[in-house]
Amino acid sequence: MHIVDGKHVVYAFKPDMEPVLTVEDGALVTFESNDCFYQQVTSNEDVLDSIDHDRLNPATGPVFVEGAQPGDLLKVDIMAIDVAEQGVAAVVPGEGSLKEEAEEKVVRVIPIVDGAAEYLGLRIPLKPMIGVIGVAPTDEDGPCPTDTPYKHGGNMDTHDIRKGSTLYLPVSQPGALFALGDCHALM
């Protein structure tokens, strides 16, 4: 088993990314990911306008997969998603599902206890999923910011990318150069 430390991050999927790890095809790899704010929000008093927006949606990696060549498909099996002891939720006027209701930017740190998020007296069951997952794009398509979905993957934010899922990504560069991040306890 291989482990990729969460300090190795990219903010764009690029054709020429330098891999932090090389693995054989079929290897098991654990990615230590970061939250979408790269741990810049640590309390309810933090202000979204004061964080470094160039450090949003980091993806841990990339990993070079031996034998992966342009034209191949990289098969990614999601074996497990472990969540942190707390999560962060943000509401921004004009964005997201509460865009019409939000009057100001608000951030909340939410504790995770015994498989549930605890917020305002509610226990909300977790549905862990991966928000950002992808490979290096073609020379013509790249670079692609990690907050954008495209042919290579990217920020897809779908419940379909969860434990037990299999994702197929088109390989455009030797080694695929795979990275992931922005894991959600629930969305």
Average pLDDT over residues 68-83: 98
| 143 cis-preceded (ω within 30 degrees of 0) | yes
| pLDDT interval class at 133 (50, 70, 90) | very high
Write the burial class of residue 72 (CB in 10 Å: 0-12 exposed, 13-18 middle, 19+ buried). Answer: middle
Q: What is the pLDDT of residue 90?
A: 81
Q: What is the pLDDT of residue 48?
A: 75
Average pLDDT over residues 137-160: 95
Asked whether the whole model's pTM tops 0.85, one would answer yes
Distance in angstroms between the alpha carbons of the first and the last residue of the chain = 29
Write down the residue that tokens 């206890």 correspond to.
113
The token pair at 107 is 């951030």
Q: Which domains does the chain have, with CATH numbers?
A: 2-184 (2.60.120.580)
Residue ranges of the alpha helices (H) in 114-177? none
Residue 162 contacts residue 129 (beta carbons within 8 Å): yes
Rounded-to-integer distance, Cα 79 and Cα 164, Å: 6
Rounded-to-integer distance, Cα 138 and Cα 172, Å: 5
Rounded-to-integer distance, Cα 150 and Cα 12, Å: 12
Q: What is the pLDDT of residue 92?
A: 79
SS3 118: strand
Rounded-to-integer distance, Cα 164 and Cα 130, Å: 12
